[in-house]
Amino acid sequence: MPLYATHRDSGTVTVVDMGGRITLGEGSALLRKTIGQLLDEGHTRILFNLADVDYIDSSGIGELVHAYTSARNRGGELKLLHLTRKVRDLLQITKLYTVFEVYSDEPTAIRSFQ
């Protein structure tokens, strides 16, 4: 399934709900476009909800890293919520699990930005 991404506000935090595959091509491009637009609009506290992202390749991992560094470069924060097993496993073997702040419930994730 192609990637979809919609966003909503939860207090001062922007939650981006994503589903599908983050892979080379449209998926990675949509992720880059989404983070670019949010940062341009001044959203700097961003939570990626990856609950329905069932597949990610090295290109997708690269886009997550790009989103993370872009947010930090704007003085913001980007955190991850609800990783599926495959995504979590990939972040662990690439050692990125220790780079990202990862949460398994949304209220806790939202509070962590305060």
Nearer of residues 66 and 74 to another protein, judged by Cβ: 66
Q: Other CB atoms closer than 10 Å to residue 105's CB: what's the count?
A: 9
The region of 10-18, 43-51, 73-81, 88-96 touching another protein under the rule CB under 8 A is 88-96
End-to-end alpha carbon distance in the chain: 34
9 bridge partner residues:
14
* Binding string, residues 37-56; x marks residues near another protein by CB under 8 A: --------------------
61 near another protein, judged by CB under 8 A: yes
CA distance 27 to 63: 9
105 near another protein, judged by CB under 8 A: no
Cβ atoms 46, 72 nearer than 8 A = no
Residue carrying structure tokens 């609800």: 82
Residues that bind another protein (CB under 8 A): 23-25, 57-59, 61-63, 65-66, 68-69, 86, 88-90, 92-96, 99
